[in-house]
Amino acid sequence: MAIERLRDGEPAGAGVDATDFTLSSDPFALFAVWMAEAERAEPEDANAMALATADADGLPDVRVVLLKGFDRRGFVFYTNAQSTKGEQLAANPQAALVLHWKSLRRQIRARGPVSPVTPEEADAYFASRHRDSRIGAIASQQSRPLADRPTLMAAVAELSAQYEDGPVPRPEHWTGFRIDPVRIEFWQNGDYRLHDRVRFTREGDDWSRSRLYP
Ligand SMILES: Cc1cc2nc3c(=O)[nH]c(=O)nc-3n(C[C@H](O)[C@H](O)[C@H](O)COP(=O)(O)O)c2cc1C
């Protein structure tokens, strides 16, 4: 995932303490630095994150999605709004995420309210996807029971023929969601389980910072 600019013209890494990350003042800048390091270190899907939601009864659920956008407004992923997670977010528009980078021995957690991205943002991202992925997104009734794989492949073939070489429109229910974090925590493995943790908590336009016991 190419990290979008945090803000126009903003120097990367400002607000990050290069010698001790727990002294950094800006969680978004620190996130950008760790994400960039993860993209260099992880062989696959450095942007894969566990996304936790809860249903209307408060029962938690979790699955992996890809982080597709990040800036000062929050963390964006794309999905089918009619999926199980989409239904859960409609009932309870709050979520938590965790990224774990095994080779860097780091973890980032965040939580906060969730809102849909604008149709323009969703259109732009949908248009950037491979044509076959766009067709697949239309063909998949994500999280609904599927009789067998040939049923799905037949739907894909039918849609491919229907759109031929023309534009593949984004279904309205295929969209993105943004988690606007109220808390972000950074964790770095330490020897003998004496890990370093720093938690940022949103306070209006500012963030308070506290170091936590491991
Ligand atoms: C590495 C990885 C990346 C994934 N990325 C996405 C994604 O970006 N969006 C998505 O809807 N599902 C993604 N999935 C599939 C989800 O984990 C999940 O199976 C699907 O979204 C249905 O979840 P739900 O039934 O809770 O709605 C990904 C799975 C893996 C393992």
Whether 45 is in a domain gets the answer yes
Whether 64 is in a domain gets the answer yes
**Does ligand 1 lie within 6 Å of residue 53's CB atom?**
no
Whether 78 is in a domain gets the answer yes
CA dist., res. 112 & res. 11, Å (int): 26
Question: Is 146 a known ligand-binding residue?
Answer: no
Ligand 1 atom with minimal separation from the 48 CA: 1
- The 3-state DSSP class for residue 38 equals helix
Number of domains composing the chain: 1
User: Mind listing the pLDDT tens digit for each residue in 106-135?
Assistant: 999 999 999 999 999 999 999 999 999 999
Q: Classify residue 59 as left (phi > 0), alpha (psi -120 to 50) or beta.
A: beta
What is the structure's pLDDT at 14?
A: 79
Question: Is 59 a known ligand-binding residue?
Answer: no
**Segments forming the whole domain that contains residue 49:** 21-128+177-212
Catalytic-labelled residue, pool 193, 199, 202, 211: 193
Strand partners for 48: 66
With beta carbons less than 8 A apart as the criterion, state whether 47 and 40 touch: no
Question: Is 142 a known ligand-binding residue?
Answer: yes
- The 3-state DSSP class for residue 112 equals strand
Question: Residue 48: which of 38, 60, 37 has the closest Cα?
Answer: 38
* Nearest CA owner, ligand 1 atom 7: 65
Whether 136 is in a domain gets the answer no
In the block, tokens 């999926």 appear at 83
Question: Residue 214: which of 22, 66, 83 has the closest Cα?
Answer: 22
**Does ligand 1 lie within 6 Å of residue 66's CB atom?**
yes
CATH number of the domain enclosing 102 = 2.30.110.10
**Does ligand 1 lie within 6 Å of residue 174's CB atom?**
no
What is the structure's pLDDT at 55?
A: 96
Which amino acid, residue 139?
A
Question: Is 24 a known ligand-binding residue?
Answer: no
pLDDT < 50: residue spans in the chain: none
The residue to mutate among 66, 92, 146, having the most atoms of ligand 1 within 8 angstroms of its beta carbon, is: 66
Whether 2 is in a domain gets the answer no
**Does ligand 1 lie within 6 Å of residue 152's CB atom?**
no
Whether 150 is in a domain gets the answer no
Whether 152 is in a domain gets the answer no
**Does ligand 1 lie within 6 Å of residue 45's CB atom?**
yes
User: Mind listing the pLDDT tens digit for each residue in 151-176?
Assistant: 999 999 999 999 998 999 999 999 99
Q: Could you tell me the pTM of the whole model? A: 0.95
73 counts as catalytic: no
Whether 163 is in a domain gets the answer no
